[in-house]
């Protein structure tokens, strides 16, 4: 059966959705080949059959699964003989907390790079993007860009518990990465895909962890258009 | 072999340490009997042999283990045939994130109830407690009490991802509680043990979860001196 991933793309084929990165990494973790169907905001019609208007959407043969969390659970259940994303029911339940906590990290990142997203998507999508994001975030893209360093304290506050964990173990899932790592990775890879803003510096435990994540699965995270690590 | 838990106590035998609650619940989860050695701040000499000056300290026969996290790992490793606290290596690694994130919840709670702690510990310990906490928190206990509602937004922000998880599953570890639940429970039980301040109201998913936690292990959490749920 063919697995297809409908995945958000920007201009220059940039893959910047943190949620799609979770699924990309999850598929690689399970050792599953997939056909990638990159879709710009204007190409959502490609997966209209799913009844869902956000990516990722995954199809596996006749099955259609939207939502990154549901896709991860589906893959772990449908392919139990392959490396687990969760390591059992407790691991899955605890990963859900990462899934719900991650806005504390991704929210400040989004505010810092939202103007860069605008500048790296297809010109035809920019008017829709500007209008929807300015309405959601309550400021112009330019005002958010101007004030972006004001989000640094919230970003650093979210990094603190992550760094504390990495002081005791190399990955959030222990000696080896699993789905909770992919959830956190999505946020950083999102930024790196569309913004020159440096979020992490060498010497930081999170920088080292991100490097290890970028090395995974044949360097999947480095295989796309992005700004330097 | 006898397991002994050296556990912080206040006046009226109140057991208010969030860290000791984690261990209490972990012991009950493993079905292990323990001798409780309640110690006020002034009675730390009881476990001076451990070389550690904070509770919990656990002894199991000739072994001495300080620190709640290390105790949980010890119990799961030493008693593998009993119900697991982590459900495997990924579950243990992910629980570590709860352990490092929990100051986001416990910090605001501490600031809200610190004056109540003072009022519920042995009179002989109050001067030490006042001095050390006022130095650490940078304000008098009375000033913190006066301004306690100013901590409510930070408390609510920490509750948000917890509530989001509970919208999808009854416990943080899934269908049944395990160590990550005990980590979170410690913060709420800490407050309930020494403060009349209501943190949660009926109808809140966290209130329902805390009630289920209080029911566990023969109502262990209800078996102590505390303010109403």
Q: What is the pLDDT of residues B120-171, one digit of tens each?
A: 999 999 999 999 999 999 999 999 999 999 999 999 999 999 999 999 999 9
Q: With contacts defined as CB-CB under 8 Å, which chain A residues touch B88?
A: 87-88, 90-91
B3 near B28, Cβ under 8 Å? no
Q: How confident is the model at residue B229 (pLDDT cuts 50, 70, 90)?
A: confident
**Residue in this structure with the two tokens 């106590």, named with its chain if needed:** B9
The CA distance from B51 to the nearest CA of chain A, in Å, is: 22
Pick among A92, A97, A99 to test the B interface (most B CBs inside 10 A) = A97
Task: Establish how many alpha carbons lie within 13 A of residue B194's alpha carbon, considering only the half-sphere containing its beta carbon.
Answer: 28
Determine whether the interchain pair A93/B174 forms a contact, defined as Cβ–Cβ distance below 8 Å: yes
Q: How confident is the model at residue B99 (pLDDT cuts 50, 70, 90)?
A: very high
For residue B88, the chain A residue with the least C-alpha distance is: A87
* DSSP class per residue in A182-229: HHHHHHHHHHHHH-------TTSHHHHHHHHHHHHHHHGGGSSS----
Residue A53, pLDDT above cutoff 90: yes
Residue A229, pLDDT score: 86
Average pLDDT over residues A116-142: 96
Measured CA to CA, the distance from residue A46 to residue A6 in angstroms comes to: 8
Measured CA to CA, the distance from residue B108 to residue B154 in angstroms comes to: 6
B178 near A92, Cβ under 8 Å? no
Average pLDDT over residues B87-93: 98
Tell me the sheet residues that pair with B38: B7
Contacts of residue B101, Cβ cutoff 8 Å, sequence gap at least 6: A101, A161
Element (H, E) at A120: none
Determine whether the interchain pair A91/B94 forms a contact, defined as Cβ–Cβ distance below 8 Å: yes
**Residue in this structure with the two tokens 């999808």, named with its chain if needed:** B168
Tens digits of per-residue pLDDT, A203-224?
Answer: 999 999 999 999 999 999 999 9
Tens digits of per-residue pLDDT, A4-22?
Answer: 999 999 999 999 999 999 9
Pick among B88, B97, B175, B176 to test the A interface (most A CBs inside 10 A) = B97
Q: Does B19 touch chain A (CB under 8 A)?
A: no
A85 near A178, Cβ under 8 Å? yes
Helix (H, G, I), strand (E, B) or coil at B35: strand
Of the candidates B92, B101, B165, which has its C-beta nearest A96's C-beta? B165
**Residue in this structure with the two tokens 């392959």, named with its chain if needed:** A82
Tens digits of per-residue pLDDT, A149-163?
Answer: 999 999 999 999 999
Residue B1, pLDDT above cutoff 90: no
Tell me the CA distances in angstroms from A184 to A125, A171, A191, one per residue in order.
27, 10, 12
Determine whether the interchain pair B95/A93 forms a contact, defined as Cβ–Cβ distance below 8 Å: no
Contacts of residue B129, Cβ cutoff 8 Å, sequence gap at least 6: B41, B117, B118, B121
Residue B131, pLDDT score: 97
Residue A195, pLDDT above cutoff 90: yes
Helix (H, G, I), strand (E, B) or coil at A39: strand
Measured CA to CA, the distance from residue A23 to residue A8 in angstroms comes to: 12
**Residue in this structure with the two tokens 């950083």, named with its chain if needed:** A188
**What's the alpha-carbon Rg for chain A, to the nearest Å?**
17
Residue A16, pLDDT score: 95
For residue B159, the chain A residue with the least C-alpha distance is: A101
Residue A1, pLDDT score: 79
In angstroms, how far is CA A15 from the centroid of its own chain?
9
Percent of chain B with pLDDT over 70: 100
Measuring CA to CA, which residue among B163, B128, B151 is closest to residue B197? B151
Average pLDDT over residues A121-135: 96
Determine whether the interchain pair A93/B164 forms a contact, defined as Cβ–Cβ distance below 8 Å: no
Q: Does B89 touch chain A (CB under 8 A)?
A: yes
Residue A164, pLDDT score: 98
Residue A126, pLDDT score: 97
Q: How confident is the model at residue A52 (pLDDT cuts 50, 70, 90)?
A: very high
């Amino acid at each position: 059966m063919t697995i297809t991933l409908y995945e958000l793309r920007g201009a220059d084929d940039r893959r910047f959705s943190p949620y799609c990165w979770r699924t990309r990494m999850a598929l690689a973790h399970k050792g599953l080949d997939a056909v990638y169907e990159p879709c710009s905001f204007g190409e959502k019609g490609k997966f209209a059959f799913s009844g869902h208007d956000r990516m990722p959407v995954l199809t596996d043969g006749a099955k259609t699964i939207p939502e990154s969390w549901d896709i991860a659970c589906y893959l772990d259940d449908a392919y139990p003989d392959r490396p687990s994303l969760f390591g059992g029911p407790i691991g899955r339940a605890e990963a859900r907390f990462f899934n719900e906590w991650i806005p504390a990290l991704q929210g400040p990142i989004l505010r810092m790079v939202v103007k860069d997203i605008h500048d790296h998507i297809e010109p035809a999508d920019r008017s829709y993007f500007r209008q929807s994001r300015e309405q959601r975030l309550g400021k112009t893209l330019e005002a958010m860009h101007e004030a972006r360093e004001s989000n640094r304290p919230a970003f650093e506050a979210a990094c603190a518990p992550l760094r504390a964990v990495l002081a005791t173990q190399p990955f959030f899932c222990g000696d080896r990465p699993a789905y909770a790592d992919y959830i956190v990775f999505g946020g950083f890879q999102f930024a790196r895909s569309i913004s020159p803003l440096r979020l992490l510096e060498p010497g930081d435990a999170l920088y080292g962890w991100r490097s290890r994540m970028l090395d995974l699965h044949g360097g999947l995270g480095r295989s796309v258009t992005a700004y330097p690590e």
